[in-house]
A and B are shown apart, each in its own frame.
Chain A
Amino acid sequence: GNSVTQMEGPVTLSEEAFLTINCTYTATGYPSLFWYVQYPGEGLQLLLKATKADDKGSNKGFEATYRKETTSFHLEKGSVQVSDSAVYFCALSGSGGYNKLIFGAGTRLAVHP
C-alpha cells in the first residue's frame, strides 16, 4: 500500500542554517505530494504541494521537488528562522487529490537564535 517515510527528528539548527528534511514515498499510480506544517497547539497548514513528476512546490522560502525516479519529495530551505520551529509532515494522496492523505510520522524542527 501507499506509505510515506520521513527522517526522524528532532532537527536542531541555528538561525540562518540550511534545512533539509528527507521524505520518500511508496505509491501506486501518480500521487500528489504535500508538505504540511504544524505549529504548537494548532492544526496542520499546507506549506507546499506538487501534483506531478518534476514539479517544484515552493512557499515562504521552502521548496520541494517531486522526484519520481527516486520517489522522493525532500523539503529544503536556504536560511531558517526561529519562527520556522514546528513539526513538518510529508504526505501523499491518490490520483485526483481528494482521496485520503497518508502522512509521514512528522519531523520536529527547532531553530535557535
Chain B
Amino acid sequence: DAGVIQSPRHEVTEMGQEVTLRCKPISGHDYLFWYRQTMMRGLELLIYFNNNVPIDDSGMPEDRFSAKMPNASFSTLKIQPSEPRDSAVYFCASLDGGGSYEQYFGPGTRLTVT
C-alpha cells in the first residue's frame, strides 16, 4: 500500500488567498484525521471523520477552516481566507477501526502564508 498520500507537499501563498490541502487515506481505513503542527502549539487535532462523516470538529480554529470527505478515498482541508498565523505543517492520518488502534500519518503539507 502507498500509505496516506497528501498534496501538495509544500504550499506558499499570500494572505487572503484560498488554500486547499488534499488527503488520500489508506484503502479500507474508515477513520480520517487532520492535524496541525506548529512550534508554538505542537500537534493539534483539527477534525476527524468516521465513514466520511465528521465526528469531532472542535479543534477547527475558526470559520475560515473547513473540511470535507466526499468519499472514502479523499478528503480536503480548506482555508479561506488564509492568514500568516495559519503557517504550519498539516498532517492527515487514517485508521482502520477494526484494527490495531494505529493511526497512519501522511508526510504532511508545509503551508507558508506570507
> Residues on A close to B: CB < 8 A?
32, 34, 36, 41-46, 49, 51, 89, 93, 97-106
Q: A98-B31, A100-B56 are in contact. Are A42 and B107 (CB under 8 A)?
A: yes
Is B12 in the interface zone, CB < 8 Å from A?
A: no
Footprint of A on B, CB under 8 Å? 4, 31, 33, 42-43, 45, 48, 50, 56, 59, 91, 93, 95, 97, 100-108
Secondary structure call for the B interface: strand
- Contact check, B42 vs A43: say whether CB atoms are below 8 A apart: no
> CA separation between A46 and B3, bound complex, in Å?
13
Known: A32-B101, A43-B91, A98-B31. A106 touches B42 (CB 8 A): yes
Interface pair B31/A43, CB less than 8 Å apart: no
- Determine which residue in B31, B50, B103 has the highest number of CB atoms from chain A within 10 A of its CB, and name it: B103
Q: B106 to chain A: closest CB distance in Å? A: 5
Q: Which residues of A contact B50 (CB under 8 A)?
A: 98
Given A42, A46, A100, A106, which contacts B102 in the complex, CB threshold below 8 Å? A46
Q: What separation, in Å, do the CA atoms of A106 and B38 have in the docked complex?
A: 11
User: B93 contacts which chain A residues (CB < 8 A)?
Assistant: 43-44
